[in-house]
Amino acid sequence: MSVRRLNKILLYDEGAAQSLNVEEIAEYLRKKLAKIGVEVRGDPFCRLHDRISDYAKKIACIKIQDATRRMLSGQETLYGEIEYEKKRILGKTRAFGVLYDGLELQRIFWEIISREQRSLEFVHIFFTNRLFATWDEHDRRYHARVSVYGIPSIISTTGVVEAPAKPREYYLLKQQYEMLRKDLLELKDGFKGSFMDYDDERLTEVVKGYAMQAVFYYLIGYPFCEDKGCRLYNAHWQEELIFAQLGSEYEFCPQHKGLIEDENGH
């Protein structure tokens, strides 16, 4: 397996959940990968104030209106939607009720990265609270995602909550609660801890594993592992996510642990 030489890991906070501690993630990465510099860059739009309107328009154009219809490039958008995105970029709102096309969002963030750092030597990771989805040609619909790995990689704190499926039992009971107009918070309380929720105190710990997936994507070309106990496991269920990131007896499987050790020169 060939291992790529990495120059630096760069972390950006594109309005991620307030409970996400990016500095703590940076510190975790520094400990795991002692020879690679880690820099926290903060808001990726902060030096682009003269182009906020352009980016707001681009982002407004990649909203998914209907999860069963593939978004068309260059779709029309409304003035109000562009204004909303301007506020969102400027940090005047942290709302997260909109669904975006994940590949298009990744491509917009790519434009923000300077040309000389658009390379596999620089691990760019954008943390965002935007919820995004990617189109699946098999069932011809969008699916919400936690992450998209590329240049840059993007990790959604809202995706951590919404993308991996909750227990089947939860959805069945949710239908009953809705029919009977019962309080959904009561239902959530019954499942407390079994899935990630908004303002979850476990969020930073969970996202450390996704940041490592992004690092492995650059390092060996693939972010995931088949081992359900490894932090690189591509969880599609909340139960799997919680086990891989918080419940497993080990952080990384022997193969990936070995690669980290090699990277540190052990």
Minimum distance of another protein from residue 179's CB (angstroms) = 30
**Sign of the alpha-carbon torsion through 189, 249, 144, 16:** positive
If one asks whether residue 148 binds another protein (CB under 8 A), the answer comes out as yes
Distance in Å, CB of 151 to another protein, minimum: 6
Residue 63 pairs in a beta bridge with: 100
How far apart, in Å, are the Cα atoms of 208 and each of 119, 127, 236?
A: 22, 11, 17
| Residue 236: strand, helix, or coil | coil
Are 48 and 109 in contact by the 8 Å Cβ rule? The answer is: no
Q: How many CB atoms lie within 10 A of CB 240?
A: 16
Among the listed residues 96, 86, 77, the one whose alpha carbon sits nearest the alpha carbon of residue 56? 86
d(CA 126, CA 42): 9
What are the φ and ψ backbone dihedral angles of 223, each rounded to 5 degrees?
A: -85, -15
The residue among 36 and 196 lying less far from another protein, judged by its C-beta, is 196
Among 17, 125, 157, 164, binds another protein (CB under 8 A): 164
| Identified binder of another protein from the candidate list 57, 70, 107, 202, rule CB under 8 A | 107
**Of 29-37, 86-94, 146-154, 256-264, which part binds another protein (CB under 8 A)?**
146-154
- Asked whether position 96 contacts another protein by CB under 8 A, the answer is no
Choose between 6 and 84: whose C-beta lies nearer to another protein.
Answer: 6
- If DSSP codes are grouped into helix, strand and coil, which group holds residue 195? coil
Q: Which stretch binds another protein (CB under 8 A): 20-28, 53-61, 197-205, 219-227?
A: 219-227
Binding mask 7-46 for another protein (x = CB under 8 A): ----------------------------------------
Sign of CA dihedral 45, 49, 51, 54: positive
Q: Which of 5, 12, 81, 80 is nearest to 45 (CA)?
A: 12
Total of chain residues touching another protein, rule CB under 8 A: 34
77 binds another protein (CB under 8 A): no
Q: Determine, following the binding rule CB under 8 A, whether residue 152 of this chain makes contact with another protein.
A: no
CB of 132 to another protein, least distance (A): 9
Q: Exactly one of 41, 51, 70, 118 binds another protein (CB under 8 A); which one?
A: 118
